[in-house]
Amino acid sequence: MARFLILAGIIFVVIGIILQLFPGLLNWLGKLPGDIRHESGNTRVYIPITTMILLSIILTIAINLLRRVL
């Protein structure tokens, strides 16, 4: 468990550094086809269906790979 937490911390630090150096890297996230946006007057509704499916697939693959390595 300790190795997993250390590895997760290192991954978060690396991701944070990358996002600091390249702030526009993930601008496409949330603007995928299939994400629903509706604006009407003062009301805004945003439902990121495609983005959540993509993130779910990526995280599932990453977690499965980590389990096999550790």
Residue 41 DSSP one-character state: T
Residue 13 belongs to some domain of the structure: no
Residue 42 belongs to some domain of the structure: yes
Residue 20 belongs to some domain of the structure: no
* 70 has a pLDDT exceeding 80: no
Phi and psi at residue 38, in whole multiples of 5°? -135, 125
Overall average pLDDT of the 48-60 stretch = 93
- CA-based R_g, the chain, Å: 16
Overall average pLDDT of the 21-28 stretch = 87
Q: Please, what is the average pLDDT of the chain?
A: 89
Q: Which domain holds residue 44?
A: 25-70
- Confidence bin at 10 (pLDDT 50/70/90): very high
Total domains in the fold of the chain = 1
Q: How far apart are CA 36 and CA 41, in angstroms?
A: 17
Residue 17 belongs to some domain of the structure: no
15-47: b (≥16 Cβ within 10 Å) or e: eeeeeeeeeeeeeeeeeeeeeeeeeeeeeeeee
Enter the pTM of the model: 0.66
Overall average pLDDT of the 42-54 stretch = 93
Residue 5 belongs to some domain of the structure: no
Residue 35 belongs to some domain of the structure: yes
